[in-house]
Amino acid sequence: MEAAATSEAPAMDTATAEAPAMEAPARPATQPARRADSATDSPIAAAVSSIPGRVAQAPPPTQPSQRRVPHSWHPLAMSGASTDRSTASNLPLMPQGLKRFHQTGKLHFITFSCHHRLPYLAPDHPKQIVEQILEQTRKEHGVEIHGYVLMPEHVHLLLSEPTHHDLATTLKVLKQQSSKLLKSPNTPFWQPRYYDFNVHTEAKRLEKLRYIHRNPVTRGLVTRPEVYPWSSAAHYATGATGTVLLHSHWTTRNLNPAKPQKRIVEV
């Protein structure tokens, strides 16, 4: 009797020892509970864990720094320029969303500036180069120059739409050709964009032309518009010719002598 009881005891122990082996497949199901990760509570994780033989693996937590925009971010970084705050905050920015209307058959009031609005055009030599390139571009692109002024750090133009190219291409060529002769090896000469205002009426044409010619007076460079040598003011006042062939009442009268012209001094 005792021997039989003794012989059955190991069988009970064996069953007890084999019990963990039967529960082994269910053990991984409780493993995510030891991970304090809220991602395992998602509907996707629950659906995956319900599949027999599959264990839901929680994705690694997303680092907050990967979602934030750095405080030093600046739109200039998109173009590879310096993003230093002290420099970027002082840059003259062109208006955003500026609309340009070309192929209208009207005049355009154009403004573009030197790089960072620095006075690269203050000496006479750079202004001479820009006038020469302006005249060369006028000939090659078939554009009429109605007025211009070269200021120490920017340029104003009143011109027609070119006959051989679009206006954007003409201005690009003007800036590129002059920049090749004027810029230093590591510094651009011009700002990359330009301001374009469509002139639809004669009143607006006279307004912009007077603004161009009086710009040096407003800045205190001269006392009268016609004495400033780097603009079209002297031509409109006296008919004098210079490096740039201008389209004015003087030149149109010479081109069409039989047609009387009304002389208007826009200075």
Whether residue 184 contacts residue 142, with contact meaning beta carbons closer than 8 Å, is answered with: no
Q: Give residues with Cβ within 8 angstroms of 154, minimum separation 6.
A: 111, 112, 113, 114, 117, 121
pLDDT tens column, 11-54: 444 444 444 445 545 554 444 444 444 444 555 445 445 545 55
Query: What top-level class would CATH report for the domain 107-255?
Result: alpha beta
Whole-model pTM? 0.59
What residue segments make up the domains of the chain, in order of their start?
107-255
| pLDDT on residue 57 | 54
State the Cα–Cα distance between residues 160 and 107, nearest whole angstrom. Answer: 5
Strand order in the sheet with 195-199: 145-150, 154-159, 107-113, 195-199
| pLDDT on residue 48 | 45
Per DSSP, helices labelled H in 142-232 are 167-182, 202-218
| pLDDT on residue 104 | 61
| pLDDT on residue 186 | 82
Query: What does R_g of the chain's alpha carbons equal in angstroms?
Result: 39
Per DSSP, helices labelled H in 30-141 are 43-49, 85-88, 124-141
Say if residue 114's pLDDT is above 60.
yes
| pLDDT on residue 164 | 83
State the Cα–Cα distance between residues 246 and 260, nearest whole angstrom. Answer: 19
